[in-house]
């Protein structure tokens, strides 16, 4: 039994211990507070915050404890919440891979990897549901699989392109910004872990995944896409290195003539697509933290993905929450690094550069999630800081008052003149649901400096109009929108000039009219 004398001795010992450190010396953990009753001879006084209360109210209900041990119902709630939180993070981290997986699934409907080359010969129009594709130049877009060994891609001249792996990490540039500098060249793709001999005469790349997407653009000649398309068909080759002397015949498929969807689902099927990527690709292709979150959702390489009813329920809710979170990150961006001008609504597409980093080696997770929620393809050339080179992509989903755009109302964007580009500029309107070109009566929902009928003011400024009907006399500078639907716009600047970089030129906000 602890006596009053025992407690007095304990208090005196604690006081002596404090005095030993000298006046004004901070202790690592002050041994003060009320001992947990009952007090015994060797009881240490505890600071507040160590012991749990008997109950805690949380956003997912009241949790009850017996002396710090959660009861059965609270334990179930805590585990469900933990799995849910980790699954939401897995969703956000998995967006790039699932973006790729569904993209590949759609492209495979044209034909098998390595021998099928889809090309949008008449430009991408609004019938193609694809994340923020543009209608300025013909796309060539195909998949390669390196499971059969090293693969050669012969890139035609005068294209601008890239290779991205299955997790949407940049592998290499092709064409104008690649090693061939737009002259055309041979690129050798080596599979992950390749240890064989590497021949001379190729630009060698080493993707971290077996599956990779190859994308490039050819260009218009006097407004005509056909010469560039013909060059692509004539000079493109894809073949195993072992068949260099006798390359297989390629099948070119025109994607311009059909409705087509490359945007993946945000429901339970998301997890099935993510599992496909994890099963097919090396673990070393992505970071251990992401793999840990995927595993928490039940997705591990070499193991079946067989969630029970409880897990399916949690994952379905996590997918809906993850999609909603990605929409908030994109449409309602709060990252100050993403704001281009302090007095404008325009945002950067790349926050933290093409690697999406807060500082070297520190990822900006939100920036990567929001980008691949709305876009495909990443390369340093899309985030260039070289005057007159590459491209930049300011975008906005808000009017001058910070409101989402209403497709039933009319808006105006003023681009001060002259627009600082070496090549051309365009504005394209996208559907906020699909992040693809808005589908209206306009085949191409855009206004561009390439448009022959574009109205330009004497000072070089341009007004672009958005609304359900064209303002009188402004049809050539107008993009149709749909009542009851929202939209957003990307302003593409190809070959941006110094006034863009020093911010002496900036586009106006998109202003509601009337």
pLDDT digits (tens, 9 = 90+) for 423-470: 999 999 999 999 999 999 999 999 999 988 999 999 999 999 999 999
Q: What is the DSSP string of 329-343?
A: HHHT---GGGBS-TT
pLDDT of the residue at 89:
98
Domains annotated on the chain, with CATH: 80-110+263-330 (1.10.3360.10), 111-254 (2.60.40.1610), 357-513 (2.60.120.600)
Q: How confident is the model at residue 388 (pLDDT cuts 50, 70, 90)?
A: confident
193-225 residue pLDDT tens: 999 999 999 999 999 999 999 999 999 998 899
CB 172 within 8 A of CB 157: no
21 has a pLDDT exceeding 70: no
pLDDT at residue 443, rounded to an integer: 94
Across 122-132, average pLDDT:
95
For the residues 86-106, what does the mean pLDDT come to?
Answer: 97
Residue 33 has pLDDT above 60, yes or no: no
148 is written with which tokens?
């059969």
Q: Which of 426, 439, 432 is nearest to 393 (CA)?
A: 426
For the stretch 47-77, pLDDT in tens is: 888 889 999 999 999 999 999 999 999 999 9
Residues 6+ apart with CB under 8 A from 200: none
Any idea which of 11-15, 36-40, 396-400 has the lowest mean pLDDT? 11-15
Would you say residue 297 has pLDDT above 80? yes
pLDDT higher than threshold 70 for residue 251 = yes
Please determine, for residue 13, whether its predicted confidence score (pLDDT) is greater than 70: no
For 14, half-sphere exposure in the C-beta direction (CA atoms, 13 angstrom radius) is 19
Residue 36 is predicted with a pLDDT of 56
End-to-end CA distance of the chain: 84
pLDDT for the residue 22? 45
**Does residue 17 register a pLDDT over 90?**
no
pLDDT at 358 over 90: yes
- Is residue 505 predicted with pLDDT exceeding 70? yes
Asked whether the predicted pLDDT for residue 26 surpasses 60, the reply is no
Cα 380 to Cα 371: distance, rounded to the nearest angstrom:
14
Q: pLDDT at position 44, please? A: 87
Mean predicted lDDT score pLDDT of the chain = 92
**From the centroid of its chain, how far is CA 403?**
23
The pLDDT score that the predictor gives to residue 23 is 46
Q: Do you find a cis peptide bond into 36, omega within 30 degrees of 0?
A: no
| Rounded average pLDDT over 119-142 | 95
Percent of the chain with pLDDT over 70: 93
């Amino acid at each position: 039994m602890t006596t009053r004398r025992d407690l007095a001795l304990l208090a005196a010992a604690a006081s002596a211990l404090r005095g030993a450190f000298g006046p004004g010396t901070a202790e690592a953990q002050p041994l003060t507070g009320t001992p947990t009753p009952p007090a015994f001879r060797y009881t240490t006084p505890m600071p507040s915050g160590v012991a749990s209360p008997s109950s805690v109210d949380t956003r997912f209900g009241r949790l009850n404890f017996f002396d710090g041990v959660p009861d059965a119902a609270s334990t179930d709630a805590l585990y469900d919440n933990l799995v849910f939180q980790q699954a939401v993070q897995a969703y956000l981290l998995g967006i790039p891979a699932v973006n790729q997986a569904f993209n590949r699934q759609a492209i495979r409907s044209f034909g098998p990897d390595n021998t099928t080359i889809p090309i949008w010969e008449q430009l991408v129009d609004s019938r193609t549901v694809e994340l923020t594709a543009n209608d300025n130049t013909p796309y060539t877009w195909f998949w390669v699989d390196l499971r059969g060994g090293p693969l050669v891609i012969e890139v035609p001249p005068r294209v601008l392109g890239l290779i991205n792996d299955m997790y949407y990490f940049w592998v290499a540039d092709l064409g104008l910004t690649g090693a061939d500098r737009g002259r055309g060249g041979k690129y050798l793709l080596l599979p992950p872990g390749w240890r064989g001999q590497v021949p001379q005469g190729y630009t060698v790349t080493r993707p971290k995944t077996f599956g990779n997407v190859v994308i490039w653009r050819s260009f218009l000649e006097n407004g005509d896409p056909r010469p560039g398309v013909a060059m692509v068909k004539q000079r493109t080759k894809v073949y195993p290195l072992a068949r260099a002397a006798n390359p297989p015949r390629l099948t070119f498929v025109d994607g311009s003539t059909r409705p087509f969807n490359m945007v993946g689902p945000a429901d339970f099927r998301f997890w099935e697509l993510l599992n496909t990527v994890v099963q097919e690709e090396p673990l070393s292709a992505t970071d251990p933290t992401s793999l840990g979150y995927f595993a928490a959702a039940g997705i591990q390489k070499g193991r079946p993905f067989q969630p029970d009813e409880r897990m399916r329920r949690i994952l379905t809710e996590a997918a809906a929450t993850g999609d909603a979170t990605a929409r908030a990150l994109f449409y309602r961006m709060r990252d100050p690094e993403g704001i281009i001008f302090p007095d404008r609504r325009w945002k950067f597409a790349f926050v933290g550069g093409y690697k999406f980093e807060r500082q070297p080696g520190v990822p900006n997770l939100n920036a990567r999630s929001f980008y691949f929620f709305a876009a495909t393809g990443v390369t340093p050339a899309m985030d260039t800081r070289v005057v007159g080179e590459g491209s930049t992509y300011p975008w906005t989903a808000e009017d001058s008052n910070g409101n989402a755009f209403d497709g039933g109302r009319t808006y105006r964007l003023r681009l001060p003149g002259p627009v600082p580009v070496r090549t051309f500029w365009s504005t394209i309107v996208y559907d906020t649901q699909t992040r693809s070109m808005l589908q209206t009566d306009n085949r191409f929902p855009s206004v561009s400096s390439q448009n022959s009928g574009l109205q330009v003011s004497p000072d070089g400024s341009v007004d672009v109009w958005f609304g359900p009907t064209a303002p009188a006399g402004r049809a050539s500078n107008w993009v149709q929108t749909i009542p009851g639907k929202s939209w957003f716009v990307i302003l593409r600047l190809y070959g941006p000039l110094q006034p863009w970089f020093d911010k002496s030129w900036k586009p106006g906000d998109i202003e509601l009219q009337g």
